[in-house]
C-alpha cells in the first residue's frame, strides 16, 4: 500500500476501488469533492453508470484514507495506451498539504509502469488550484471545452414541432463512430456513448439528425443533450438547427443544456445562435506524455 503523505493523525492508507463497494466509492467522492465548483451528486448507481461508460479501471483507481475517513480519491479510466484522470479530489481538511500532488504522482508512476503512453484529464479552467496542480506536474492544455445553455423560451410553438422519433442510443454511437469527429474528448467518444442505457434517450429526425439526451426524467430540472449528429451528406442544410428546435419543443417545460464538453473549435457559431449562451464555466482538456 502506498502512503502518499502524512495526514495530521498519521499516514494515509489506500484501497483500490476494486476493494470497495460502490456505496463506499460514492460516499468518498462526495466527501472529498466538498466545496467544488459544481455540486458532486453521486449515488452508487450513478457511479456505476459512469464507470461502465468511461471504462474506469477499478485497480488503478484509489481511495486514500486517514483512519478510515476518506482523505483523497483518484479515479482512472483507460482505453488502449491512454489513461485519463476521471476525477481527483482531496477532502477539505487535508488540502494544501501536498497530498493532491502525491496522489497524482502515484497515478502517473503507475501509468508509466503499465506502459501507458499518455494521460488525459479535464479540469474547469476556473479552478486555479487544480489547474496549477496539473500544470506543475507537466500536464499541458490541449483545448477548451465549452458548454451551452438554451433559452427556456426558445422555439416552443407546438405548431412548429417536428416529430422526434426514439432510437436505440447504441445506433447513435455507431453513427458517431462512422461519421463524427475523429478527435472527440473522452466523454463524447462513441466508446463512451455506446454504454448509454435508460434513462438516456436516443432521438432522431428522419434518421438524418440524432440527439442523445442524458436524462429526460421530468423530475430533473434541465435536459442535458449529451450528443448531436447530422449525417455527413446532410450537413449545412439546417438539420442541426431543426433538431435543436425540435428538442426545445419536445422538452418545452424545461431548459436544455449542453455540458462543458464541446471542443472550442466544434461548431461554435452553431451553438452561438440567439438563445444559446456559452456557460460561464469551461473545461480545459489537458495531456501529459508519459
Ligand X SMILES: CC(C)(COP(=O)(O)OP(=O)(O)OC[C@H]1O[C@@H](n2cnc3c(N)ncnc32)[C@H](O)[C@@H]1OP(=O)(O)O)[C@@H](O)C(=O)NCCC(=O)NCCS
Burial of 67 (0-12, 13-18, 19+ CB in 10 A): exposed
Cβ proximity to ligand X: between 129 and 220 the closer is 129
Q: Which of residues 43-72 bind ligand X (CB under 6 A)?
A: none
- 10: contact with ligand X by CB under 6 A: no
* Residue 129 binds ligand X, judged by CB under 6 A: yes
Decide: 14 and 68 in contact? Cβ < 8 Å.
Answer: no
Nearest to 211 by CA among 195, 198, 230: 230
- Is residue 95 part of the contact set for ligand X (CB under 6 A)? yes
Instruction: Tell me: does residue 96 bind ligand X (CB under 6 A).
Output: yes
Q: In whole angstroms, how close is the CB of 233 to ligand X at the nearest point? A: 39
Stretch that binds ligand X, among 126-134, 194-202, 207-215, 268-276 (CB under 6 A): 126-134
Q: Exposure of 109 by Cβ count < 10 A (0-12 exposed, 13-18 middle, 19+ buried)?
A: exposed
Is the Cβ of residue 100 or residue 202 nearer to ligand X in the bound state? 100
Residue with cell 488540502: 95
Q: Let me know: does 129 contact 239? Beta carbons within 8 Å.
A: no
Please tell me whether residue 287 binds ligand X under the rule CB under 6 A.
no
| 136 binding ligand X? (CB under 6 A) | yes
- Contact between 265 and ligand X (CB under 6 A)? no
By CB under 6 A, residue 150 contacts ligand X: no
User: Among residue numbers 11 through 50, which ones bind ligand X (CB under 6 A)?
Assistant: 33, 36
The residues in 70-89 that bind ligand X, with binding defined as CB under 6 A, are 88-89
- Choose, by CB under 6 A, the member of 63, 90, 188, 223 that binds ligand X: 90
To ligand X, the closest distance from the beta carbon of 97 in angstroms equals 5
Distances (CA, A) of 26 to 17, 31, 49, 236, 272: 10, 9, 12, 43, 36
Least Å from the CB of residue 195 to ligand X = 22
- Sites of contact with ligand X (CB under 6 A): 33, 36, 88-90, 95-101, 123, 127-130, 132-133, 136
Amino acid at each position: 500500500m502506498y502512503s502518499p503523505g502524512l495526514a495530521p493523525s498519521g499516514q494515509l492508507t489506500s484501497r483500490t476501488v476494486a476493494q470497495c463497494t460502490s456505496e463506499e466509492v460514492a460516499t468518498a467522492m462526495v466527501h472529498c469533492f466538498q466545496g467544488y465548483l459544481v455540486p458532486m451528486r453521486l449515488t452508487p448507481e450513478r457511479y456505476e453508470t459512469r464507470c461502465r461508460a468511461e471504462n474506469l479501471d477499478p485497480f488503478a483507481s484509489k481511495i486514500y484514507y486517514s483512519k478510515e475517513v476518506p482523505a483523497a480519491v483518484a479515479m482512472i479510466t483507460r482505453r488502449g495506451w491512454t489513461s485519463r484522470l476521471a476525477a481527483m479530489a482531496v477532502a477539505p481538511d487535508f488540502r494544501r498539504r501536498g497530498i493532491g500532488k502525491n496522489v497524482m504522482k502515484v497515478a502517473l508512476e503507475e501509468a508509466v509502469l503499465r506502459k501507458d503512453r499518455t494521460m488525459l484529464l479535464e479540469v474547469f479552467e476556473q479552478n486555479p488550484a487544480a489547474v496549477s496542480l496539473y500544470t506543475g506536474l507537466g500536464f499541458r492544455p490541449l483545448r477548451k471545452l465549452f458548454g451551452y445553455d438554451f433559452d427556456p423560451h426558445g422555439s416552443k410553438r407546438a405548431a412548429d414541432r417536428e416529430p422526434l422519433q426514439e432510437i436505440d442510443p447504441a445506433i447513435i454511437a455507431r453513427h458517431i463512430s462512422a461519421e463524427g469527429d475523429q478527435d472527440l474528448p473522452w466523454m463524447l467518444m462513441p466508446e463512451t456513448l455506446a454504454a448509454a442505457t435508460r434513462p438516456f434517450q436516443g432521438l432522431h429526425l428522419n434518421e438524418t439528425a440524432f440527439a442523445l439526451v442524458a436524462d429526460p426524467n421530468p423530475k430533473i430540472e434541465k435536459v442535458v443533450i449529451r450528443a448531436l449528429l447530422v449525417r455527413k451528406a446532410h450537413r449545412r442544410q439546417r438539420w442541426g438547427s431543426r433538431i435543436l428546435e425540435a428538442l426545445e419543443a419536445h422538452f418545452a417545460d424545461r431548459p436544455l443544456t449542453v455540458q462543458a464538453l464541446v471542443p472550442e473549435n466544434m461548431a461554435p457559431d452553431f451553438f452561438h445562435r440567439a438563445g444559446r449562451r456559452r456557460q460561464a464555466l469551461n473545461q480545459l482538456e489537458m495531456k501529459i506524455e508519459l
